[in-house]
Amino acid sequence: MRRVLIVEDDPDMRRLLELYIEPLGFEVIQAVDGLEALYQAQYYEPDLVILDLMMPVASGDLVLGFIRSTEKLKKIPVLVVSAHANIAALAEQYEADAYLQKPFSPQDLRFVMQQFLTKE
C-alpha cells in the first residue's frame, strides 16, 4: 500500500486531509511537528509528503531541506500546503514539487496527488 505522510500541526486540518486521502486507498501517516516529521519520513519512507510550512519545533522549510539533503528521501515528492500569501514563491524557493494554498478542495488535493502517485 502506498503511504502519504501528512505533516500538519493543526489537528482539524490533519483529520480533514486524512478523510480526503484514505478513501483513495493510501495509508496515512501523521506528524504534528517538524521534528516528528523527520522521524516519520526516515522510518516510513512515504510515497508523498504533504507538508505545512508553519509549524512548531522545526518549520516546514527545515523539514523540506532535510528531505532534499537525505539520500534515501530526496526523491520523495513534497506537496507544500499553506495559507501564506506567497506560497508559490516559497514552494519554489524551498524546492517543493507542488503547492496548494489553504483552503483547498478535495478535488484540488486529489488532482495534485495523482500527478505524483500514479507514476511507478
Q: Is residue 72 domain-resident?
A: yes
Collapsed DSSP state (helix, strand, coil) of residue 86: coil
Q: Is residue 86 domain-resident?
A: yes
When pLDDT is averaged across residues 67-92 and rounded to a whole number, the result is 94
Q: Is residue 118 domain-resident?
A: no
What are the pLDDT digits (tens) for 36-71? 999 999 999 999 999 998 887 788 889 999 999 999
Q: Is residue 120 domain-resident?
A: no
Q: Cell digits for 67?
A: 528531505
The pTM score is: 0.94
Name beta bridge partners: 4. 28, 48
In contact, 7 and 34? CB cutoff 8 Å: yes
How far from the centroid of its chain's Cα atoms is residue 46's Cα? 10
